[in-house]
Amino acid sequence: MFQNIPLDSSEGDTDCDWEYIDPQYGAPQSPDEPHKSRYDAPASAQAADDDDDYVHDQLAPRRKPGGYDSRIEQILYENPELPILITDAGKSLESGGRYIVYTIRTGDLEVRRRYSEFASLREALIRLHPTLIIPPIPEKHTMADYAANPTNAKQDQQIIDLRKRMLAVFLNRCRRMEELRTDGVWWRFLDPNASWYEVLHSYPIASIPKSVYRAPPLDPANPTPGHSFLPIPPSSAKLKSQTIGPGVEGAFGTGNNAGFSRFPPENANMSEQELDPYFTSFESSIKELEQLLTGPMEKVNRRALSHYSALASDLSELGAKYNAFALSEQDPTLGPVIERIGQAADMSYVATEELSTSLGASFAEPMRENAQFAGVVRSVLRYRIMKRIQQEMTNDELNKKILLLDQLERSEAEARRIDQYLSGSQQIQPHRRSVSVQESSSRHHKEGSQEDTASIDSDFPPTHGDISSAPSATIGAPERSNSTSGHKKAPSGNSITNKIFGPIRHAVQGVVDVDPEKTRRDTIGRTKESIAQLKQAQVVVAQDVKDASASVLKDMKRFQRENEDDLRRYMLAYAKSQIEWAKRNKETWEEARAEVSKIDET
């Protein structure tokens, strides 16, 4: 199966043959593969000189226009292939050994960071770049880890070594993503002169809105005013109508719809509904890969590693028995042969132990990381779907407000028409009405005056007729005071009733619209303002959806290329480990067989 794969080629042979190294992380580099020359052979000496200058320019370190903000930025920019290493992992001396710190070396600079700081870095990158597939980091301690080792779970050396390797992989993967390398946050994590706490609480991270859905996908730290009017979709929301794609087989060109490629054409101007099948199919394929890696493959690989570890222990014990047996053997010829067999068992033990460690580091851990990538991809695709849902919610809300405004304006027009009709009908024969009212009131006033005068004259003798008007004034004053005092006493008499029904009357007055015309005008004003805001939101969310789809699709293509290269590299590493283990065991036991054959000859 692997006969055509150059598994035993040395690194020296590989380095001398390659002229250009692909900056992708972990891309397989086979020296026997044909590669394209970066320039054609010169036809003359002048052409050769020009090509020499070109090669010199390519080998010379590139410079960043405008200068650098930090020494670490200069190192990363001028040395794009320089690996980032985690050289040490141990207890921090500054904190009294309370937590583990990881020493990160980039060129000649070193910085120490905690695991929690790695986690905060990744969280910040996710908020800054919601459309990018940010590499995962090793998981936190599980409850099973604390149950197995309750006192020293955080100081478990195996977990520390695992994190040391995988955190280095995380940093190197981030380094190969241009958007992360130039955002001004990631490289500060590697800067020994930068305070990570200040980085987290300053621009651009501190400028990101609380909800990333109210920020532009490509620049969340600089939202526009229209983004503040966007509705936030609930986490359980779904698209109203989503185009059903051809399925996973069609997306990968293996089913009946083999003509349907994995990704849309480069220059195709497709709508969001037309792009949905591609994203859906990619998500389905990632889900199947995750189920495969975390299901049967993970179980079989874990069981195989367990068998290799048990075999190594058995070989170690077998070698010790043979060595002890050789010491007790008195025959000078047989004793060395038995000892040689014991040494062969010891060598097999060492080789098997190295095989188990190698498979765990070069195969099991990358497969586990690949399974974590599936969750990252789903979250990125979910972000795009949520932006689509947000666009639908914005459009629906805008349509509702437009309909409401239309109804309110109709009600306002109807109310004005009724008011005009009533005011016009009240002006019919106003003069005739006023004259009749005045005549009736004057006639009633005269009759009442005559009756009052007759009543007064009948009560007093004729001698008091000259002062008949004075008693009426005197009598009228007490009557007014009595009526006033009686009016003031009324509330005190009904104080209990007021206490009971007063709050109810106040609540009813608050519910009943005392001025419906003013309320209607205020509602129309607020509705117009909401429509203006939603129109701004509609424009920005349409651009956000377009930018999110383009960015997610671009990063999906990058991830797919790297994922295929990683899978190929993992499989080659598995095969190389097995072949190397078999070759070492074969050589060891062939030497032991040669020693045994000497006994037969003698």
CATH number for the domain that contains residue 198:
3.30.1520.10
Lowest mean pLDDT among 76-85, 101-110, 129-138, 451-460: 451-460
Return the minimum-mean-pLDDT range out of 137-141, 157-161, 562-566, 597-601. Answer: 597-601
pLDDT, position 318: 95
Provide the pLDDT confidence category of residue 128 given band limits of 50, 70 and 90: very high
Q: 112 is written with which tokens?
A: 């120490």
- The reported pLDDT for the residue numbered 262 is 76
Least confident of 87-96, 436-445, 515-524: 436-445
Query: What is residue 149's predicted lDDT score, i.e. its pLDDT?
Result: 64
pLDDT one-digit tens code per residue, 273-331: 899 999 999 999 999 988 988 888 889 999 999 999 999 999 999 999 999 998 888 88
pLDDT at 489: 44
Tokens 């009426």 correspond to 472
pLDDT confidence bin for 470, thresholds 50/70/90? very low
| Residue 364: DSSP 8-state | I
Whether 33 maps to a domain, the answer reads no
Q: What gap in Å lies between CA 581 and CA 97, rounded to an integer?
A: 39
Same-domain pairing of 285 and 387: yes
Lowest mean pLDDT among 2-11, 121-130, 393-402, 421-430: 2-11
Lowest mean pLDDT among 179-188, 467-476, 542-551, 575-584: 467-476
Residue 464 has pLDDT above 90, yes or no: no
pLDDT band at 1 (very low <50, low <70, confident <90, very high): very low
Handedness of CA 357, 359, 361, 362 (dihedral sign): positive
Q: Assess whether 343 and 278 both reside in one domain.
A: yes
Question: What's the structural domain count of the chain?
Answer: 2
**pLDDT at residue number 153:** 58
Of residues 52 and 265, more confidently modeled: 265
Instruction: For residues 298 and 172, state if they share a domain.
Output: no
Q: Residue 141: its pLDDT value, please?
A: 65
Residue 509 confidence (pLDDT): 54
Alpha helices in 252-333 (DSSP H): 272-294, 296-328
pLDDT band at 240 (very low <50, low <70, confident <90, very high): confident
pLDDT at 562: 93
Split at pLDDT 50, 70, 90, the class of 218 is very high
- Indicate the residue among 161, 182, 207 that finishes a domain: 207
In this prediction, residue 64 carries a pLDDT of: 74
Residue 36 lies in a domain: no
Q: For residue 423, what are the contacts with CB-CB under 8 A and spacing of at least 6?
A: none
pLDDT at 438: 56
250 shares its domain with 144: no
User: pLDDT grade, residue 43 (50/70/90)?
Assistant: very low
Same domain? For 119 and 244 the reply is no
CB of 102 closer than 8 Å to CB of 89: yes
Task: Give alpha helix (H) positions in 460-515.
Answer: 469-493, 495-511
Separation between Cα atoms, residue 473 and residue 468, nearest integer Å = 9
pLDDT digits (tens, 9 = 90+) for 547-558: 999 999 999 999
Please report, to the nearest 10 degrees, the dihedral formed by the alpha carbons of residues 337, 341, 342, 346 taken in order: 140
Q: Which domain holds residue 153?
A: 72-207
With a pLDDT cut of 70, the percent of the chain lying above it is 68
What pLDDT is recorded for position 395?
Answer: 96
Residue 442: predicted pLDDT: 55
pLDDT reported for residue 177: 95
Residue 196 within any structural domain of the chain? yes
- The pLDDT assigned to 593 comes to 92
Assess whether 174 and 271 both reside in one domain: no
Last residue of a domain, one of 182, 207, 232: 207
| CA 320 – CA 345 distance, rounded (Å) | 9
Which phi and psi angles does 136 have, rounded to 5°? Answer: -80, 165
| Averaged pLDDT for residues 38-59 | 44
Computed over every residue of the chain, the mean pLDDT equals 78
- Which tens digits make up the pLDDT trace of 533-584? 999 999 999 999 999 999 999 999 999 999 999 999 999 999 999 999 999 9
Domain check: are 107 and 180 in the same one?
yes
Rounded mean pLDDT, 75-80: 90
pLDDT higher than threshold 90 for residue 198: yes
Are both 140 and 254 inside the same structural domain?
Answer: no
Mean pLDDT of 174-186: 93
Same domain, yes or no, for 391 and 418? yes
Report yes or no on 102 lying in a domain.
yes
The confidence score (pLDDT) of residue 88 equals 93
- Mean pLDDT on 508-521: 69
Q: Is 593 domain-assigned?
A: yes
The radius of gyration of the chain from alpha carbons, rounded to an integer in Å, stands at 45
Domain end point (choices 183, 207, 231): 207
| pLDDT(36) > 90 | no
pLDDT at 511 over 90: no
Q: What is the pLDDT of residue 32?
A: 39
Is the pLDDT confidence value at 115 over 70? yes
Burial of 41 (0-12, 13-18, 19+ CB in 10 A): exposed
Q: Spell out the residues 6+ positions from residue 304 whose beta carbon is closer than 8 angstroms to its own.
A: 359
Same domain, 200 and 254: no
pLDDT at 41 over 50: no
In a domain, 4, yes or no: no
pLDDT of 413 above 50 = yes
Give the CA count within 13 Å in the CB-facing half-sphere of 221: 16
How many CB atoms neighbour CB 219 within 10 A?
15
Contact present, 560 and 262 (Cβ < 8 Å)? yes
CA 40 from centre of chain? 46
Residues 358 and 352: their CA atoms lie apart, in Å, by: 10
Residue 18 falls inside a structural domain: no
Whether residues 189 and 279 share a domain: the answer is no
Q: What is the pLDDT of residue 303?
A: 94
What pLDDT shows up at residue 574?
Answer: 94
Q: Is residue 598 a part of any domain in this protein?
A: yes
Residues 171 and 200 both lie in one domain: yes
Task: CATH number of the domain at 570, please.
Answer: 1.20.1270.60
Per-residue confidence (pLDDT) for residue 55, from 0 to 100 = 40
> Nearest 5 degrees, angle CA 444-CA 448-CA 451?
145
User: According to the model, what pLDDT value does residue 48 have?
Assistant: 45
- Tell me which residue has tokens 């040689």: 340
